[in-house]
Amino acid sequence: MTEYNETEFLICVASRLMENRTVAFVGTGIPMLAASLAKKMHATELIVAFEFGGIGASLDKLPLGVGDSRTFHKAVIASGICDAMETAQRGFIEYGFLGGAQIDMYGNLNTTVIGKYWPPKVRLPGSGGANDLGSHCWKTIAIMRQHDVKRFVNKLDFLTTPGYLTGPGSREAAGLPPNTGPFRVVSNLGVMGYDEKSKRMMLLKTNPGVTAEQVVQNTEFEMLVEEKVGTNDPPTAEELKILRNDVDPDKLYI
């Protein structure tokens, strides 16, 4: 078996969620590398959107951030932040990749503060474009590098980005577009989805060597569990070769 590290594994799992001929809004880090890997593997016609207005870049070389000139290289659109967000509002973006310090059972995210708003225990970067993506993309995918009870919580310290808010119907009641919202959560323990009726988070697949019980124990809220929990396949030799040699040869992230 080919050796790989946790970051490489998360990149490969996230990459497999991206479908060909769709649009994915990504940020710096794992989502950016996952999109680049997908374009070089199974989703060659994937259109990648960046917050600063680059849409459809070739990703021949890995950008260093969402405003890097490489996010505009051979792009179909070179615009700005307002146009990028409006593209999501108009319903043209299938997947939005998000991250957070905390996530709850309905996929709501906190990237603002830990503890009281003032004085804070920890002040976080804030929303950026995450609230826009969580509000308007058809399907959002949260990347949570660490799965534990401090991050998968009963109640957020601050709601930055809406998931399914308080449950069925609450997004629509808040004025958000129908049929949008959380789709998947990718963590170092597994992949979660959401129950169609209750909108609560549900364990779908565990990572190699991880049990469903471990996922439940490392989640503060009551995690729903699929009747037949699958296992995420480890990175293939081809995925690792492309990731290491073509996507991130300088090992800036992996």
Q: Is 213 a known active-site residue?
A: no
SS3 of residue 99 by DSSP: strand
Give Cα separations from 254 to 7, 202, 240 (angstroms).
6, 28, 10
Residue 11 phi, psi (nearest 5): -60, -45
Q: At a CB cut-off of 8 Å and minimum separation 6, what does 139 contact?
A: 94, 95, 96, 180, 181, 182, 183, 184
In a 3-state reduction of DSSP, which class is residue 183? strand
Q: DSSP alpha helices (H): ranges in the chain?
A: 6-16, 30-40, 81-89, 130-136, 170-173, 212-217, 237-242
Contact yes or no for 12/232 (Cβ under 8 A): no
Neighbour-count burial for 102-115, b at 16+ CB within 10 Å, e otherwise? bbbbbbbbbbbbbe
Q: Which of 51, 94, 213, 227 is catalytic?
A: 51
Name the strand (E) or helix (H) holding 151: none
Contact 57, 50 (CB under 8 A): yes
Enumerate the active-site residues. 51
